[in-house]
Structure 1
Amino acid sequence: MPWLKHWLGRVLLGFFLLGSPCVWVVAPAAQSGESSGAVPITIGVLAYNGKAEAVRRWQPTADYLTAQNPGFVFDVVPFYLAELAAAVRDGRLDFVLTQPLQYVELARKNEVWPLATLNVQTPQGTLDRFGSAIIVRADQQAIQHVRDLRGKVLAGASPDALGAWLLGLDTLNRVGINPKTEIHTLFTGLPMSQLVQAVADGRADAAVIRAGYLEQSIHAGLIAPGTFRVLDPKNYADFPYQVTTELVPEWPFCATHRVSAAFAAQVARGLLGLSQDNPAAIAAGITHWALPLDYTSVAHIDARWLPHNRSVLQWLRSFGVWLLLPLGAVVFVFYLQGRRTQRHLSRQEASLSATLNTLQDAVIVCSADGRVVFANQLTRVFLTHPVDDLSALHGRHYAVLFHLRWRESAPNFDLRQAVALLDKRPEQTYHVQLIIGHQMREVDLHLRQLDDLTEQKTPKFVMTLRDVTEYREATALLAYRASHDRLTGLLNHTAFEELLERHGHSQSEGLILWLDVDDFRLINEANSRRLGDQLISRLASALALNAPSSGLVARLGVDEFGIWIPDLRALSYRQWPDELLGLLRELRFEIDGQRFWLTVSIGVCLADYRLGAGLLDDAEAACRRAHREGGNRVVWFSRDDAEIATRREQMASLHYLKQALDAGNLVQVVQLIAPVGLTQAAVFPLKLPTAHAHYEVLLRVKGADDRLQSPVQFIEAAEKYHFMPEIDRWVIR
């Protein structure tokens, strides 16, 4: 087997280079004599779970290799299966990270050789192998074993996907099912979630997925437990997931012929030295890279299930015996098979059309010249000019079907230009506005180029439109309600604090005011909460109206407001709080024939380049002092304010006393009452007094070092903030 000899040779070369004390590295770009700037190195990665996810997972590894190889810049480029094979064939990649089956195919063509095999990190341990699970819906009682799949629809990612198709075919063959004639296939493409969705929707009876994907999706909350089950699960001692098939080695990291063997060995050394706690390993979800495993089992699957271009001599050696069959019989068999295939394709096409008509998206398939080939029922909703029969759309150009308003930065950008870009970007998504009559709807437009399998091989493209107007309106409404007060429409406490934190991190100078309505509780008790809400709403309007243009007003509590003024140059900030207080004194509110006059206590604090949360606490402390001094006044916060400092110390003492009470750190001790002059004092657990002795019971607080402390420093705070009844109840319990 040429590929195996090639692989063994590369491994031996790798061992030699990894053990060499000195390695001369020749970079791909450096071979041409270029020495200015870093040399770009491209790593092609198979995007089995989406391209964005592939970049997120493997770009940290590329950054790690960049740090390990000065003078080179590694970059990850995600590809799907066919795209990755084409990129290697065209010589656009330096290294490749792909699934084992594609590696075997590339190695058989002498295009790559392995450097390392990844070891995946799972909650149950490290895995260097993987398999496939054949899943069905849990309520599918007709299918209990793999052998029950005969005549059923089986979904896979693609005909050449290892974990999401071919391993499943090998298992079907083991139980006596011919995958080519005794099952119906449905290929959904990647990501893997499309396979699970096909089973959930009933488009497929079962699906072949990578083992572990079901458990990981359940753990992530993407799939409800008990929705699916795995057919004929096998138990492997070192494999924690349910698996239906045999296990094969994990993904290899390979080098292409664009890099020298010495440079490949240096990169392999860097991968093998990657530790488990490295950010690159954490992002990739692996524990480490190991020396390449034996991929012979994968090669057997490749040889059995995938077609290969054989030479005439090889074909004659393998199938020459069939030349003895009469040509008429061969023609007749092909004729029968063609009719059967045609009927099967017709059923598949009808099933696909029915499925597309049930989607919540408009789906339009167009030919290479832009003529409509297929349109599902929901397309009617998006048309500029409605039609009674969708067949009337066949042959019409896509550009005349919809009236779209684009948000692209390029002037005069339209649907024709977007379709023209498919040659460069085969898949595109746009957020556009759709005009239907006098209505304007928010729409997500998705374009994807397709490869036609007919003899003409003319490319097609599919266009999908999804109306997301209600979704975006609901999202905006939820965001507004989460950050604004329902009664006043002002920012709420949480949003106000986040705003101050952003200004604090940017060290923006400003002024913060905390306003508290004096004796507002009495207004609610004497009247009604409805009237109180009206007063608060009108007061909020007055504050918003009289705040500076750069200021921002928020409701912080029932009768508390905050004002943030980031631009102090636009006003005399030392006088403005007093001016605001004077204005509020003059306000009169008439509600239900009654006139109300509100006074407020205002605490003011200068930003002084501190974080927003601390700034808000300081303004509140100043407001509390204004309230204690009688209200209807302005108090500026000062770090030297002894009263505020004392109050904070008392609050800290009260908090310490409450913790001691909850933790059982209050202790009663007994002390003998003795005449003056008696030097010894007795402190011991409570006992019954003797006939002539007298004792007093004292309260102590056990400190962090188990020493008893006098509670004198806590008593004042407990009495001031009405906590003494709790201590009394503890004493007499």
Structure 2
Amino acid sequence: MVMFCCSALAQVPTTTEVETINVGVLATRGDRAAIERWQPLMDWLTARIPNAHFQLHPYTLEQMAAVVKSQDIDFIITNPGQSVQLGRQYPLSWLATLRSRYQEGTSQAIGSAFVVRADSPYQHLSDMKGKSVAAVSKIAFGGYLTLKREMQQAGHDPERFFSTIDFTGFPLDAIVYKLRDGDVDGAVLPVCQLEDMVREGLIAGKNYRVLDNQAPDGFPCQASTRLYPNWSFAKTGKTSEALAKQISRALLALPEDHPAAIAADSLGWTTPISQLTVDKLYQDLDIHPLQNPWWKEALVWLKANQQWGWLLIILIVVLNGYHFLLEYRFNKNQKRLLRVQNELNEKIAMLEHAQRVAIVGELGASIAHEISQPLAAIQNYSQGGLIRVNKGKPVTELQPVLEHIQHQVMRASDIVQRLRGLINKRASEKKWSDVVDIIDDTLLLLRYELEKSAISVTVSHEGEGRPVWIDLVGFQQLILNIIKNAIDACNQACSLSATIAIELVFTPQQLVVRVTDSGEGFAVEPALLQSAFYSTKAEGLGLGLAICRDVVKSHHGHMEMCNVAPHGCRVEVTFPFIDNEQ
């Protein structure tokens, strides 16, 4: 008999290890608020995905970028701005987009609200020019970036439009409190942030206003910008496609009235929607992650067009070499020109001195007459004094005689000083001077010649006189040349009633000196007369009027010459009043 023995196999229960799935979430209002909003979703996924426990990790913008880069996280939940920024740089796959609770479940719900205090005078964003504002971050999508795009399209640069922008970082509530306390004039908030804080009883809605609201009809929150896609759920490169597929099904199956959907302020999730509008925003702001810096673009072009690249490099080197050569020659020529200019200035000074000496030679008879008068008076008084001494007169009778002698000595000394000031060769030195005294001194030098030629001179003033910042020697040489030419013109005309009229006109802006004579006038162009070494006189140097022109030019003035009816000439010189510090 064949017997078969069989044994029953006992079933041993096995334990399956639960895998922890790490999910990073952008904590815009702090860790606690992020956990309250997204932990119900983690619980839903844990219940729907076998052998998986979903662990929530709140992050800031910078922390989120770091964990995605290092692949230390499995999934992320973030706003569309960061999802595009990270997705264009690192391996991210979008699984679903959050459905907005408003407008029949649309996924357009991200934007900016520009908030001010209700008692502030600002009604529009344009009223905020030069004011201080607060925002969470320069790279915050649902805040600063969306507002920046709107402002740039309106022709404003926020960094120049506002006086200061205080980037406070997360949590967002701190921005509202800075606005409440008057630390800033305006605040840039994500859409619905203000309404959420009012609903939570953190602030009073009546104390705040949103500027330039452009939210669509039916949208419960005010928005100062257009709206963009809602938050996204994405997979990093660390996670398997099989798990991602399970999570996608679980997200799409989340009921609209489930606590997880309500906590996220949504109607659940939908399939990923296009992020094109977000890409365009980053392109408009020139910060898209796929946009290369100019130097990288240049390198790409050089690799593709090496022959043109080498030609461009050679051209740049040649042009730089040519530029340095031109700069060297320019500096060399500039030094040469400065040296020549200094030599010309020295020669001009010598010519001016020679012309003054020549004038003194022409005035020899006048100078001799001027000096002979005090000398003759000194001789007479001295003889009278000797006679009184010989007669034994008391010393007291000699005192008036000695005083007269002293007066005549001072008179002669003044004449010599005026001649020294005219003849001495010295550099041009400007100082405050009385032009009336200068003209009187000049007429004293010419008095004998005027009396010999029977020429009457009148000096008149108009306006309130004032000291003028001028070169005293140059100005006297100018007046001397003009009056000397007028004397010569009157002598050539042989008029019985020769006259020279000198007018001084003081205005708040300038001094005008007019010298009008009754001579024969001039028969050539004034410009020719003012050129160097041209003279209508047989023994003239041709320097007088040329020097006059240079003196006037050095005082930033101008000189005009013209004939007057019925005969004669007028020379008008204008000196603008210039501060001595200029």
Q: TM-score, normalised by structure 2?
A: 0.47
Question: Which structure carries more strand by proportion?
Answer: 1
- TM-score normalised per structure 1: 0.37
Higher relative contact order by CA 8 Å / sep ≥ 6: 1 or 2? Answer: 2
- Report the structure number with the largest CA radius of gyration: 2
